[in-house]
Structure 1
């Protein structure tokens, strides 16, 4: 099962179409993606896990692996660290992203298998599909959808699903 996100703001797949937003740096070839560039990497990426804030919503209905977030969850984005592009526990001494955020953007996070098998330092980390801000402002390289659309999409997705990011 494959879904596609385009830089024109369309997310589509079997029986599903929604508005989306990608990185503020546009879409770049995966080989040109760099940590912190704000770009979304073009290519087809497997769906890994679905993280969610259990204090803000019930577990999403999906056949994908579900991981309830905890306040100490983070993601390493330090290219020179051995845990680069991996989940980490906070506090964490190297550069990282907090997954337990005050805003609602990470209330639901779909982990995409970008630069994770194997990890190449500096080619970008934490390419997620998550909730869009109310004004659909561009992301730091992720895919963002409205909450209702993302929850509906998760009901449709099955293990082995893939997300294509295209120009």
Structure 2
């Protein structure tokens, strides 16, 4: 990881996510933090990741920030390493393996998309590294960083496009809980 950590960065620590002068409770991937992230390993990747987009469910919440875009009915995220659309937002109908962005549960009501392995995705390196709502405190994600819904909305309201999620190398191998 290169560069200096800025006060505007979101910095993952063993105690939570440090941002805006606060420590926010969060959960990480079931595979812990890993420098050698691979598709399906459930790990949160080490590195400096830019927040490149914010998506939200307009039927469930008000626009959280000026740059947030609504999640459409057919929005999907390709997680098929063999697809040319790997680690990209795609639209239904779409045959390769994918995640549905407009879910029945509230997990993706608000999603901050990082530039992990994006926009030029290396097959198998991992996809869909987001900041989103957690299922519950202490319950891991599939590699994303998860938050309480009210905390995620507050963080999203303070972020500007291009903010950095910093997952420090010393956390490599750490598993929460």
Note whether the superposition's TM-score is higher than 0.5. Answer: yes
Q: Hey, what's the Cα distance between the residues in 2 that align with 1:75 and 1:160?
A: 20
1:93-115 superposed Cα distances (whole Å, 9 cap, x missing partner): 00000011111100000001100
Tell whether the 8 Å contact from 2:10 to 2:164 is kept in structure 1 after alignment.
yes
1:49 aligned partner: 53
How does 1:75-154 map onto structure 2 within 5 Å?
75-154=77-156
1:105-150 superposed Cα distances (whole Å, 9 cap, x missing partner): 0000000110014211110000000001124410000000111111
Q: Hey, what's the Cα distance between the residues in 2 that align with 1:58 and 1:40?
A: 29
TM-score, normalised by the number of residues in structure 1: 0.92
- Matched residue SS, 2:154: helix
- Matched residue SS, 1:51: strand
Higher normalized strand content (fraction of residues) = 1
Greater Cα offset, 80-89 or 112-121: 112-121
- Matched residue SS, 2:51: strand
TM-score, normalised by the number of residues in structure 2: 0.87
- Report the CA distance between 1:3 and its aligned residue: 1.0
Query: Runs of at least 4 residues of structure 1 off by over 3 A?
Result: none
**Considering only aligned residues, what root-mean-square deviation do their CA atoms show, in Å?**
1.3
Which blocks of at least 5 consecutive residues in structure 2 are unaligned? 1-7, 172-177
Give yes or no for the alignment of 1:161 onto 2:159: no
